[in-house]
Structure formats: C-alpha cells, structure tokens
Structure 1
Amino acid sequence: MLGRNFGIACACVLFVWGSLPSVQAQSGSLITDLETLTSVSHRGRKSGSKSPNISARYIYEAFRASGANPKYQQFTFRAGIFSKDTGHNVTATLPCTQPRCDTPIVISAHYDHLGTTGRKHYPGANDNASGTAAMLYIARQLAKTNRSRDILFVATDAEERGLHGAKFYAKQLNQDIAVNINLDMLGVNKSNRLFALFSPGFSQFKSQLKSMKQAPLKLTVVSSQRQMARYADNPSIDWHKASDHYAFYRNGIPYIYFGIGEDKHHHTTKDTVKNMDIDKYQAGVALISDFILSLTRSPLDSTS
C-alpha cells in the first residue's frame, strides 16, 4: 500500500519486452508464491531496476504457466528533481471463451515494496506479496473455466513511489472496462475483517459480493472513504487514494478495492509471512476468487 507521500507525476513510455531467460516460478501454490516473493533472494522487490527484476520475472513465468499470455510493460517515472527511474509492470490476459462476451475486468496488485537496506530486509508479505500471490492464484483458477469476459491482469511496479505503474497502465487502456478489482494487503489480522471498498457512486456487483459466503471472515462492504475511515479508526488515511485503484478511478474506471485496512507491521521488517494468519489469508483469497469467478459466469445485466 502506498505511503502518505504520493510521489511525483510519472513521465512514461511504453516498451514491451519479450521473455527474459527463464526464472523457474515453481508456482502452483498460493503459499509458495507468497513465501517466494518475500524471500531474501527477491530483495524486498524495490522498484527502479533497468530491466525486470527477479520478482517481475517470477510473476511473468507464473502467468505464462497459467496460459495468460504475459508481457512486460516498461515505463519511466520521476525519481527526484533531476532524475528518473524505470519500472516494469507485468500484464497478462485470459480471453473470453463464450460467443457473447461482457465488458472486460482488470485485476491489479502491486508487487513492489521497499527493498533491502544494508542488513535490513523488508519482505512486504502483507504489502503486497499477499495481493500479488492472490492474483496469481486467481489467474490459475480462471484459466480452468469458461469465461464470459476478457480478464486483464496487471502486476504493477512503483506503487510505493506514487502509483506510477498503475497510472501508466490505466492511461494506455484503449477499451471499456467494467471494473478494476485491486488487491492490496489481504493478510487478515486479529479483527478478522476484510474490506471491499467500492468507488464513489458505483454499486454494480455489490449485491453479488454481499451474497458470497463469508465465514470465517467478516466481509465489510463500504461505499465511501468516510465509511472506510470510520471502520479503520484512522481518518488521516484517504483509502480512496491509498493504492492503485485510484489511478484507474482517475481514468474513469470504477473500482472495488479489497484490503484489511491498517497493519501494525506496515512498512517494517516485521511484515513477514510468519506474522500473517495464513488460514484467514487463504479464506479471504478464496472468497475474492469465488466472487471474481462469479463475474465471469453471468452477463452484466444480471449482476446489479
């Protein structure tokens, strides 16, 4: 999740890479992906490398294994008054398999985190290996089904430095999008609560989500930043702008943001898999996956 400094506006150019030398994803398990992305070998997933880093390549290979036709998307962003850095989104698509196709949806999760500083390793398990691993899991589930719409995926880079990857991706979308589903910080904590924040004025799919089986979680569907702040008991955070969903909203695309709200380990070295409740995390991912699967099985006119 983005810190309170939203960074500087991005100056972006598109470059789509071919596959780099293979990184063995060994994907196929939600927890394997979570543990791999937080491992020391991934060095905290800091953005700014000139070529796709080990985490980007891992995600690319995981998407490729699911048949989702991944690509790299290179962009540049301002890193200071006189300097720029390079970021790399990983995009993928599972196409509609039905004669009649509804409007596509975009599933997003940022994979970047704070990196490694000296001997300090920032694993970023909740923020946001949890959302990235969930997205890979959902891609594998969707790949097994008939789909009534295109499903677009984007693992964004440089979210922590100002939503730069999402800003670039959203600007270059050249098709109608029904909704962005953004996954950021899904490691359900002691409150046992998972939030689903809907963008202002957007209610499509809300009744469908509320009908999903919730146990053992408390799924809380909220419709405004004010509601979210009240539940999270911290009015200083603008949840409408706190993650990549805001970049989509600025480009006219409604969103549903799934997350737990605050985490006491946020942006510390203690944001580890060990400090996540894995059973609750898996339950939350299963709920989100079932909801997204339901959006691919029914036409838009039956989901309001």
Structure 2
Amino acid sequence: MRVCSYEHMRFLLPGVLLGTLLVTSGLSQTAPVAPASASSLDVISTDLKALLANGPRVAGSESIEKARGYLEAQFKALGYETRRDEFTYGRFDDLGSDVRVGSRTIAGNALQGSKGAEVTALLALVSGVGTPSDVAAANVRGKIAVISRGQNVPFAQKARNALDAGAVGVIIVNNTMGELRGTLGGTLDLPVLGVSQADGALLRSGDSVTLRVRTVDRTVRGANVVAYKKGVTAPEILFGGHMDSVVRAPGANDNASGTAAVLDVARRVANTPLSARAYFVLFDGEEDGLRGSRAFVANNSAATRGLRAMFNFDMVGVDVTPLAVGGTDSLSQAAQRVIPSLQVFRDSGGSDHGPFIDAGVPSLFFHRGIDVNYHQPGDVTADPTLIRDATDTALKLLDTALPSAR
C-alpha cells in the first residue's frame, strides 16, 4: 500500500446505493459460493508461500516476474483467460545509501529527488523540526545537518533550509518507529538521507561521518495481470489488488494478502454467472505511485466505462483493526447498513481504487490498518483466515446484500 501525502480527489455519487448499482446490473443473481473450509484456507496459504518465495516483489524485478507467472497459471487453471497490460515509467532508485560513523554503518533511504553524492563532514544536530531559525541556530555551514521529521515542515523545506544555510548534506530522523522513506517533491542539489528514530539517536553533534547517497533514475517496465472469462470485454465488477512490494519488504500483508484475496474470489466464483461479468486485476507498480491502476484506467476506457463497482483489497491479512471499508461514500455507507459491524473510514485514495474513483467508478477499499511491519523486512506473515474473511465480506455485499436493497 502506498500512503499518499495529499488528500486524494474523491468522486461521490450522491444517493446511489450499493444495491441499486449492482442489482440493476444483475450481479446479485449468482450461484452460492463455497464457504470457508480447511482445504480452501490451505490453498490461500499455498498462494502466500508462492508469492513470498522469491523475496520482495519490487516492480521491474525478477521476483515480481516469477509471481506474475504463478498468478497467471492459477487463473488459467480455473478456466480464465489472462493477459498482461504492460506500461513503463521512470523511477528514482536507491542503490544502497548509508551514513558511516567510525566503524559503524547506519543504513538509510535516500529521499526521492535527492542528489547522489558522498560527503565527509561533521554532524550538526538541529533542534526543532528544521525551520530557518532552527537551522541557523545549529550553525550547519559546511556540515551535515541532522533534522527530526516534523509534520508541519515538509521534507523538501527542511532540506532547502539546510542548503540555504550552507549544509553539505542532510539526515532526516524519523519521529515514529520504522524506516523513513519519502520524497522531496522535486530535485535538490544536496544528498538527503532518511534514517529510523533508533538509528538517529546514535548520531551526535561534532561526530565526523561519511554520508553516502547512491541513487539512479531508471525506466521500469511494469505489467498488470488481467484475468477474465472468454469473451468478457465489458465487465460490470472489477476485483483488484496490487502484487508489488517495496525494497527489502517481503510484502506478505502489503500486499500478498490482497493478491491472495483477489485470487480467492476468482476461485470461489469461477463456475457462477458472476465470473462472466467480472475482471480480476493484479496491479503492478502501486508502491511507485499507483502506476498499474493509473495505466489500467487510462488504457482500458471501454472496460472502465461499463464498471458498476471496483473492489480493492490492500493489507487484509494482519488483524491491526477489524476489517473496514473506504472509498466512495455511498458504497461504504450502504455496505455498513448491510453489515452493521463493518467499520467505515474516510480514506485518501492512496491505493489502487483511487484512479477508478477519479474516473467515476464507485469503489470499495477493503483494509485492516497499518501494521508494525508495514514496508519493513518483518512483513513476512499474513493470516489466510483474515483474507478469507475479507472475501466473504465482499461476496456477501454482492450475493446477500443486493436483494434486500431493491
């Protein structure tokens, strides 16, 4: 899942309910789907193991290509046809950046837009959050400024203030647990590294350090996997989730869990009328800015135009909070009327449903919150029972809720 730093534009359909959208399309007239069972949960476990077998599924990597091949084979075994929707985009990649303090090496992440450079200089710890007065008081000229992350001062402004004050590099320290990743929103002629809160605590004013920021701009070739029954060109419902993860994160919850959920739905409806009205799409490049879903919406206008709803699964395999839905307000509210225990949150459109909402497609986003291993090497487990609960909920909204909404 990609967390946006801005409030995404939301498309709302006042007065349009989940039932009126999908009963009108006939999607409620489906055969019963298989209930949860030990064997079906074992299949989800097998999917998760296969997706995690080759390490982080970074867009453009060999690992995601292997995952793509596995997913295509699963869809084809269920009687679906598959295709790859390919696209390209530019990406800023960190080749391995760090700061060396004596014999200790502290790994970090280059902020997108940072200059690649190696600089040896003294550290200057900046009190506050990097305002011009904070930086001036720290005397950063000719030094590497160490600045705490702060919500009221963007990364770019912290770095710009340090550059204007004569700093030769910047280290931004996270103010919460975990790694710090981010963007400067443009290019800056200064090496800027993000480090964790724990690692930042090891840095001291006056220490001589070597800051190494190693970056490259490259072209990524991405490919969405699209599955459908033969002859389906104008789907009425699209089940989607992203299959890529970030560097160093195996991506079990984010988002092998959502990928497995889409595959689980495809299995359960494979022999029902719903399968002849649906697309199942596994997006690439979500972590790089919703690249795959944006490309799908841009290049599949005919299919998108006929969609009555898009269901997006992202991070549904770890029980941070009970399953909740976001997305188009009218759909979220209708879903909660059908399942009163279902939580509703107002999201920013920061996952693959966002481009569909922008294109006028009512969408639901199934999500369980941000867990402690989000975008971390520890993202190695997801619970098949929770994944099945998400698909049960989605199918209940189609098969059980709609008749009552007439």
Same-fold call, TM > 0.5?
yes
Hey, what's the Cα distance between the residues in 1 that align with 2:398 and 2:367? 15
SS in structure 1 opposite 2:288? Answer: coil
CA distance in 2, matches of 1:74, 1:190: 34
Residues in 2 aligned to 1:51 and 1:112: alpha-carbon distance in whole angstroms:
9
Q: Equivalent residue for 2:317? A: 187
Could you tell me which amino acid in structure 2 is paired with residue 172 of structure 1? N
The DSSP-based 3-state class of the residue aligned with 2:280 is: strand
Please state if 1:283 is matched with 2:297: no
Query: Could you say if the C-alpha distance between residues 5 and 164 of structure 1 is closer, same or farther in structure 2, counting changes exceeding 3 Å?
Result: farther
Q: CA deviation at 1:151?
A: 0.4
- Cα distance in 2, alignment partners of residues 294 and 66 from structure 1: 24
Residue in 1 that maps onto 2:237? 105
2:297 matched to 1:170? yes
Match for residue 373 of structure 2?
265
The CA deviation string for residues 242-276 of structure 1, in whole angstroms up to 9 with x for no partner, is 20111111222121000012211100111121xx4
Aligned position for 1:65: 77
CA distance in 1, matches of 2:237, 2:47: 23
C-alpha distance in structure 2 between counterparts of 1:56 and 1:35, whole Å:
14
Post-superposition shift, 1:52?
Answer: 6.8
Residues 85 and 277 (structure 1 numbering): CA distance in 2 closer, same or farther, change over 3 Å?
A: closer
Contact 1:104 1:149 in 2 (8 A): no
Q: Equivalent residue for 1:221?
A: 344
Amino acid at match of 1:113: S
Amino acid at match of 1:86: R
Q: What's the counterpart of residue 359 of structure 2?
A: 251
In structure 1, C-alpha distance between the alignment counterparts of 2:244 and 2:84, rounded to whole Å? 15
Once residues 28 and 68 of structure 1 are traced to their aligned partners in structure 2, the CA distance between those partners, rounded to angstroms, is 21
Deviation string 1:44-76 (CA, Å, 9 cap, x unpaired) is 111024897001111111111111211111100
CA distance in 2, matches of 1:281, 1:56: 20
Q: Is residue 86–residue 221 contact of structure 2 (8 Å, CA) maintained in 1?
A: yes
Matched-pair identity in %: 29
Per-residue deviation at 1:5?
6.4
Q: Secondary structure at the match of 2:254?
A: helix
The one-character-per-residue Cα deviations of 1:107-159 (angstroms, maximum 9, x if unpaired) are 1100000244xxxxx22111000000011010011112123861011100000
CA contact (8 A) 1:96 1:148 kept: no
Please list the CA deviations of residues 146-194 of structure 1 after superposition, one character each: whole Å capped at 9, or x if unmatched: 2386101110000000000000001122132111110000024254x11
Cα distance between partner residues in 1 of 2:83 and 2:231: 18
CA-based RMSD of the aligned residues comes to: 3.1
SS in structure 2 of the partner of residue 265 of structure 1: coil
The answer as to 2:152 corresponding to 1:44 is: no
Measured in 2, the distance between the counterparts of 1:66 and 1:28 equals: 17
- Cα 1:210/1:144, change in 2 over 3 Å: farther
Matches of 2:383 and 2:246 in 1, distance apart?
22
Q: Distance in 1 between matches of 2:254 and 2:362?
A: 22
Conserved? CA contact 2:229–2:275, under 8 Å = no
Asked whether 1:147 is paired with 2:274, we answer: yes
Work out which of the two has the higher radius of gyration on C-alpha atoms and give 1 or 2. 2
Unaligned ranges ≥5, structure 2: 7-40, 93-112, 114-216
Contact 2:60–2:221 (CA under 8 A) maintained in structure 1: yes
- Partner amino acid for 1:126? N
Match of 1:127 among 221, 240, 254: 254
Q: Distance in 1 between matches of 2:275 and 2:400?
A: 10
**SS class of match (2:385):** helix
Cα gap change, 1:94/1:290 in structure 2, threshold over 3 Å: closer, same or farther? farther
Partner in structure 2 of residue 78 of structure 1 = 90
Aligned to 1:16: none
CA contact under 8 A between 1:95 and 1:150: conserved in structure 2? no
CA distance in 1, matches of 2:246, 2:64: 16
Deviation at 1:209, TM superposition (A): 5.9
Consecutive unaligned residues of structure 1, counting only runs of 5 or more, are 7-26, 117-121, 226-238
* Structure 2 counterpart SS, 1:53: helix
TM value normalised by structure 1? 0.71
Aligned to 1:53: 65
- Deviations for 1:71-127, whole angstroms, at most 9, x for unmatched residues? 111100121486421101000114799xxxx960111100000244xxxxx221110
Structure 1 240/68 Cα, relative in aligned 2: closer, same or farther at 3 Å?
farther
State the Cα deviation string for residues 1-29 of structure 1 (Å, max 9, x = none): 014469xxxxxxxxxxxxxxxxxxxx981
Which of structures 1 and 2 has the larger relative contact order (alpha carbons within 8 angstroms, sep 6+)?
A: 2
The count of corresponding residues between Structure 1 and Structure 2 is 245
Whole-angstrom distance in 1 between the partners of 2:61 and 2:399: 34
Alignment check: 8 A CA contact 2:316 2:390 kept? yes
Distance 1:60 1:145 in 2: 20
3-state SS of the aligned residue for 1:264? coil
Q: 1:270 to 1:67 in 2, by over 3 A?
A: same
Q: Please give the alpha-carbon distance, in whole angstroms, between the structure 2 residues aligned to 1:132 and 1:293.
A: 21
Distance 2:398 2:231 in 1: 14
